[in-house]
Structure 1
Amino acid sequence: MKHLYKKSELTFSLVLVGLYVVLFSIADNLSRSIGIEKILTAPLSVLFVAVLYVWIHKNGLLKKYGLCAFDGKAKDYFYFIPLFVIGSCNLWNGVQLNCSPMETALYVLSMLCVGFIEELIFRGFLFKAMAKDGIKSAIIVSSITFGLGHIINLVNGAELLPTFLQIIYATAIGFLFTMLFHKGKCLWPCIITHSVVNSLSIIGVEGTTTEKIISAVILTAVSLGYTALIYKNKKHCKT
């Protein structure tokens, strides 16, 4: 890992993306064939997180990839209120138990880890690697890549419209999270919000097509609006 990282951080990031997509898709499909959702994905998720964190810590990269304290005042980021809105999105249509208690626990564990993994890969490794050639292009590419990455859900059996909507608002959230990380030098607000969104989906009531469209519009608007506010506020503070 270290040799590849030193040779090319971008290649290292893309290899991680590929490994993540392939391994987790296989684990999800095998879990379904066994008959217990996330039974293999959950331990894989924990292992993936452990390996990444230990490697980052061992190589003194915690601060570089935002696994440190937030650099800034909460009021400058509007006390992160929009993140609470985003984090609650899967509860907007109500709450219900969609799986057995064991499957729910496995799902939540998996999704908590996925939030960490995806943020570290897309906002951490990929963004930092591309930022060497320009911050603006790095923000755009890493955000769009994050959004398009959700197309893998189609392979795992998701419907077309919900997946398309998810790609749209995930791209917007990608811009927000990248801006938060770039300005605050800390990945934890992004990791926590991402993990909460993923985890709560297992107890959320699936909305109608209209409700899904409305939710996607709200999430996209909140994310892009918050991104603009952070950018303008931090720019004003520097002048």
Structure 2
Amino acid sequence: MKKLRAASPIWHAVVWILAYVLIVNVGDWISAIIGVPNSATAPLVLLLSIVLFLYVTRNGWARYYGLIALRRDQFQRTLLYIPLVVLALLQFTLGLRADLDVRAVLLTVLLMLGVGFAEELVFRGFLFRGILSESTLPRAIIISGLTFGVGHLVNLARGYSGAEQIVQIAVAIVLGVVLAMLFAVSGTIVPLIAFHALFNISGDLSAANSDREGLILAATIVISAGYAAYLAVVLRKHGAHPMSA
């Protein structure tokens, strides 16, 4: 993998993305056999996250891929990540699902912690950095965001309807662009991992409510668009962004 990264950073990212998709599908298949949702997917994704962490840290790439603490000046430029906190908590206004038990909640939390780490590292870290090494910042932001959204097609195999899938892809693209911009502004993916996990957890544990879900979707798009516009101003204002370091 190190040789592939040196030869083609983009293909290096693609291989890791495919590995992640494969592991999720294998985990879901085993979980279905066991009869307990996420029972195999959660530990497999967590294991992949550990492998990814060791792969990056042992090769000295942690800073390059954003596994670093957030500096105070960069924290202020992100508006304290308040828009992300609002987006993550919005879904909880729907209330919790009635069918939840301790095991289901625990497996969901563990799975989404792994998903948050793995997806942020491979999409915002590997893919975004790979594209940026061969192209411009705007292209890296847009392409990585689009790829992140389209990558959610894998959820068709998880029982999502066509309409649900379209909505999820659209939201994922918008959020993917915003998260890529945040990485460009701050140079760290650590807060993005936390948001990603919390956003997925709130989505999986919240109750279904078709009327209010439409309002939340609209609010998510509006907040994300406004946040993206602000981050674009920050990037233009400061010229040399952290990604050039």
Assess same fold via TM > 0.5: yes
Whole-angstrom CA distance in 2 between matches of 1:98 and 1:172: 30
Q: Secondary structure of 2:229's partner?
A: helix
Going from structure 1 to structure 2, the CA distance change for 1:73 and 1:164 (only over 3 Å counts) comes to: same
Could you tell me the percent identity over the aligned residues?
31
Q: Does 1:203 align with 2:208?
A: no
Aligned residues: 238
Indicate the residue corresponding to 1:46 in structure 2. Answer: 46
> Per-residue deviation at 1:234?
4.3
For 1:96-123, what per-residue CA distance to the aligned partner results, in whole angstroms no more than 9, with x for missing partners?
4533311221121011110110011111
Q: RMSD of the TM alignment (CA)?
A: 1.7
> Per-residue deviation at 1:86?
1.1
Indicate the residue corresponding to 2:177 in structure 1. Answer: 175
Which stretch has the larger CA shift, 67-76 or 144-153?
67-76
Q: Does 1:80 align with 2:61?
A: no
Whole-angstrom CA distance in 1 between matches of 2:17 and 2:95: 33
Going from structure 1 to structure 2, the CA distance change for 1:98 and 1:200 (only over 3 Å counts) comes to: farther
Going from structure 1 to structure 2, the CA distance change for 1:93 and 1:135 (only over 3 Å counts) comes to: same
Going from structure 1 to structure 2, the CA distance change for 1:97 and 1:115 (only over 3 Å counts) comes to: farther
Whole-angstrom CA distance in 2 between matches of 1:128 and 1:238: 18
Listed as ranges, the gaps of 5+ residues in structure 2 are 241-245
Listed as ranges, the gaps of 5+ residues in structure 1 are none
TM-score by length of 1: 0.93
Going from structure 1 to structure 2, the CA distance change for 1:236 and 1:11 (only over 3 Å counts) comes to: closer
Whole-angstrom CA distance in 1 between matches of 2:112 and 2:74: 29
Query: Is the contact between residue 74 and residue 185 of structure 2 (CA under 8 Å) also seen in structure 1?
Result: no
> Per-residue deviation at 1:214?
2.3
Which stretch has the larger CA shift, 147-156 or 67-76?
67-76
Query: Is the contact between residue 74 and residue 186 of structure 2 (CA under 8 Å) also seen in structure 1?
Result: no
Whole-angstrom CA distance in 1 between matches of 2:39 and 2:117: 19
Indicate the residue corresponding to 1:114 in structure 2. Answer: 115
Q: Does 1:228 align with 2:236?
A: no
For 1:117-173, what per-residue CA distance to the aligned partner results, in whole angstroms no more than 9, with x for missing partners?
001111100000001222111111100111111121112211121221111111111
Indicate the residue corresponding to 2:9 in structure 1. Answer: 9
Q: Secondary structure of 1:92's partner?
A: helix
Indicate the residue corresponding to 2:243 in structure 1. Answer: none
Q: Specify the code of the residue in structure 2 equivalent to 1:181.
A: F
> Per-residue deviation at 1:33?
2.2
Q: Does 1:30 align with 2:30?
A: yes
Q: Secondary structure of 1:37's partner?
A: coil
TM-score by length of 2: 0.91
Q: Secondary structure of 2:207's partner?
A: coil
Q: Specify the code of the residue in structure 1 equivalent to 2:121.
A: L
> Per-residue deviation at 1:187?
0.4
Whole-angstrom CA distance in 2 between matches of 1:100 and 1:29: 22
Whole-angstrom CA distance in 2 between matches of 1:125 and 1:20: 13
